[in-house]
Amino acid sequence: MGKSIVITSGKGGVGKTTAVANIGTGLAMRGLKVALVDTDIGLRNLDLLLGLENRIVYNIVDVVEGKCSLKQALVKDKRLNNLYLLPAAQTKEKEAVSIDQMKEVINDLKIEFDYVIIDSPAGIEHGFKSAISGADEAIVITTPEVSSVRDADRVIGLLEAYGLRDPRLIINRVRFDMVRNGEMLGVDDLLDILSIELLGIIPEDENLIISVNKGEPIIYSGNKYKSALAFNLIVKRLLGEDVSWDELEKSESFIEKIFKIFKG
């Protein structure tokens, strides 16, 4: 029996789908059997980040409506044959999958897969509730901005109310230079404010745009880019390895530092 993990945030656009694509791919690169579930019905994105948009035949709504089997709806990744996507429907209503139906789908996937990673929609309504309903564990993602942190706190409270104890935190789009200059909340500040365990830190990285353009999760680049290194550290941490976060800040490239010295 595998483990299901939901990635959620409250606020939209903070990096849930990016995290699901990269963490899922990272786990699969280590040989684990992984299913990624897009629960953002009506606003499907995860297929694009994985470059699988042209391979979708059925989706999660077809599964719960009995139009196809779960197996038929799963889309195999282009590169890794142990990574699968269960796509959301793009044209259905947000409420097309009930909370109980979602729970059942996730439980069925857990039988076949080592990890089931669930991409939650923004908000705290039906989509959020159904996304978390089948999850064994939760990851909350936030950026270091006040509005995002406030929403994260709300979501942490809700997760605990729904019985998902001890969610873990990913802080995305961190700019270490701004943190050092007192212009951005740092990791320590966020951990002071939100009482939650840290799972990972992802720096702001423009290379992610290129990775989305190509439909190739950045984690494929190994540790070449700082966000890829960050996702690799998160995967290690998820698998129970001890990870030091200092590595990340140090990895800001030499050229970047020289550039900064000239800029003042």
Partner 1 sequence: MIITNIWGKKMSSKEIAKERLQVILVYDRAKIEPKMIESLKEDLIKAVSKYLTFEPDNMRIELSQEDNKSILRIDIPLKE
Residues in contact with partner 1 by CB under 8 A are: 145-146, 149-150, 153-154, 157, 179, 181-186, 189, 192-193
Q: 150 contacts which partner out of partner 1, Mg ion, ligand ATP, none, CB within 5 to 8 A by kind?
A: partner 1
Neighbours of 254 (CB within 10 A): 7
Q: 13 contacts which partner out of partner 1, Mg ion, ligand ATP, none, CB within 5 to 8 A by kind?
A: ligand ATP
Q: 122 contacts which partner out of partner 1, Mg ion, ligand ATP, none, CB within 5 to 8 A by kind?
A: ligand ATP
Helices (DSSP H) in the chain: which residue ranges? 16-29, 46-50, 60-64, 70-73, 99-112, 126-133, 146-161, 176-180, 187-193, 207-214, 226-238, 246-250, 254-263
Specify the residue, 106 or 248, whose C-beta has the smaller distance to Mg ion.
106
Shortest gap between Cβ of 155 and partner 1 (angstroms)? 11
Shortest gap between Cβ of 40 and Mg ion (angstroms)? 5
**Residues 23-42 interacting with ligand ATP (rule: CB under 6 A):** 40
**Beta strand 115-119 with 3-8: parallel, antiparallel or unpaired?**
parallel
Q: Assign residue 152 a region (left: φ > 0; alpha: ψ between -120 and 50; beta: otherwise).
A: alpha
Specify the residue, 4 or 22, whose C-beta has the smaller distance to ligand ATP.
22
Q: 187 contacts which partner out of partner 1, ligand ATP, Mg ion, none, CB within 5 to 8 A by kind?
A: none
Which of residues 17, 25, 39, 59 is near ligand ATP by CB under 6 A? Answer: 17
Which of residues 10, 15, 26, 87 is near ligand ATP by CB under 6 A? Answer: 15
Please answer whether residues 120 and 11 qualify as being in contact, where contact means their C-beta atoms are separated by less than 8 angstroms: no
Q: 238 contacts which partner out of Mg ion, ligand ATP, partner 1, none, CB within 5 to 8 A by kind?
A: none
Burial of 222 (0-12, 13-18, 19+ CB in 10 A): exposed
Specify the residue, 99 or 191, whose C-beta has the smaller distance to partner 1.
191
Beta bridge partners of 84: 35, 76
Please answer whether residues 77 and 9 qualify as being in contact, where contact means their C-beta atoms are separated by less than 8 angstroms: no
Specify the residue, 70 or 97, whose C-beta has the smaller distance to ligand ATP.
97
Buried b vs exposed e over 167-202: b needs ≥16 C-beta within 10 Å?
bbbbbbbbebbebeeeebbbbeebeeebebebbbbb
Which of residues 8, 9, 17, 22 is near Mg ion by CB under 5 A? Answer: 17
**Residues 197-256 interacting with ligand ATP (rule: CB under 6 A):** 202, 204-205, 208-209, 212, 227
Please answer whether residues 172 and 142 qualify as being in contact, where contact means their C-beta atoms are separated by less than 8 angstroms: yes
Which of 84, 101, 89, 93 lies closest to 57, judged by CA? Answer: 89
Any contact of residue 45 with ligand ATP (CB under 6 A)?
yes
Shortest gap between Cβ of 253 and ligand ATP (angstroms)? 15
The residues that touch Mg ion, with contacts defined as CB under 5 A, are 16-17, 45
